[in-house]
Amino acid sequence: MQSATLPDGRVIFCVNAYEVDFSVHEIFSEDLLAHGLSLPADGVYLDVGANIGLFSLYLRDHCPTARLIGFEPMPAAFAALKANMAAMSPAGTAVQLALGDHSGWAEFDYFPGIAALSTQNRAVGQKMSAGLRGLLGGGAAQDGVQDVLDKTGVAAVAHDAAFLDQLFQPEVVRAQVETLSDQMRVLGVDTVDLLKIDTEGAEREVLAGLAAEDWPKIRQMLIEVHLGEQVLAEMAADLRRRGFTTSLGRHPLCRDGAEVFHIYAAR
């Protein structure tokens, strides 16, 4: 594990320190209230695809007595997540699992150089890698992202093809998969104030693992969608049929073929 310092001076654990600045920009600048979501101080929050736990840290800042549970299947990212959850007060819970539509084991493409890209959906991983590689070398980032990239020092190596080849080289990792409903029962979760899903292309499988009787237990969702605008529209429509109101957003990386969108859903 490595460590990194957040803008407020906190030291956290991570896989790659140079990833943290961008993730902090993405997560900590998010105004969930503007999208109709609420953050009860003592709520229950499920962070699916938690990576090193930055979204859970964001929630702890806003929800001092909340119950936070993060799911992350990749061993290196999970080690950092577990350490960051343990350092919170009160501590969060880290679970080393992927969530999907059935129990079992699955192969993931794990990117040691950019752990946040790790995915069970190889096509999504390839598309995201190509889009991010274009972003690093193109100098066309929007919404303050270029400033963050410059801060990481990536500009100095953005045109080094050998470095970028290594950065975006995945390795195959097998990980255990369980369903969301099974984990809610194991963890004794009766109500979820916010379900956040960021699984690099497995968002539909995560929701497919939610049994019919458990859907009413979910008050709000924040879903990152990596499967294109048609799937985005289909997922949003399905959530509305289930009684949610929805708001849609675009991720800063939604360019160069890396289609990334957000669904904000609340009852």
pLDDT in tens, the chain (267 residues): 899 999 889 999 999 888 887 778 778 778 898 999 999 999 999 999 999 999 999 999 999 999 999 999 999 999 999 999 999 999 999 999 999 999 999 999 998 888 888 888 888 877 777 777 766 665 554 444 445 445 444 555 556 667 677 777 889 999 999 999 999 999 999 999 999 999 988 999 999 999 999 999 999 999 999 988 999 999 999 999 999 999 998 876 555 556 789 999 999
78 to each of 172, 196, 207, how far by Cα in Å?
16, 17, 22
Give the pLDDT confidence score for residue 26 in this predicted structure.
Answer: 74
Give the pLDDT confidence score for residue 98 in this predicted structure.
Answer: 97
Q: How many domains does the structure of the chain reveal?
A: 1
Give the pLDDT confidence score for residue 152 in this predicted structure.
Answer: 46
Residues 132-153 as b/e (b if ≥16 CB within 10 A, e otherwise) read bbebbbeeebeeebbebbeebe
Q: How far is CA 42 from the centre of its chain?
A: 22
Tell me, yes or no, whether 29 lies in a domain: yes
Q: Is the pTM of this model over 0.85?
A: yes
Tell me, yes or no, whether 28 lies in a domain: yes
Tell me, yes or no, whether 260 lies in a domain: no
CATH number of the domain to which 117 belongs: 3.40.50
Give the pLDDT confidence score for residue 149 in this predicted structure.
Answer: 47
Tell me, yes or no, whether 223 lies in a domain: no
18 to each of 56, 109, 149, 203, 222, how far by Cα in Å?
19, 20, 9, 26, 25
Mapped onto helix, strand or coil, the DSSP state of residue 172 is: strand
d(CA 204, CA 197): 10
**Residue 47 sits in which domain range?**
2-212
Any bridge partners for residue 11, and if so which?
A: 5
Give the pLDDT confidence score for residue 239 in this predicted structure.
Answer: 98
Tell me, yes or no, whether 241 lies in a domain: no
Give the pLDDT confidence score for residue 28 in this predicted structure.
Answer: 79
Tell me, yes or no, whether 242 lies in a domain: no
Tell me, yes or no, whether 226 lies in a domain: no
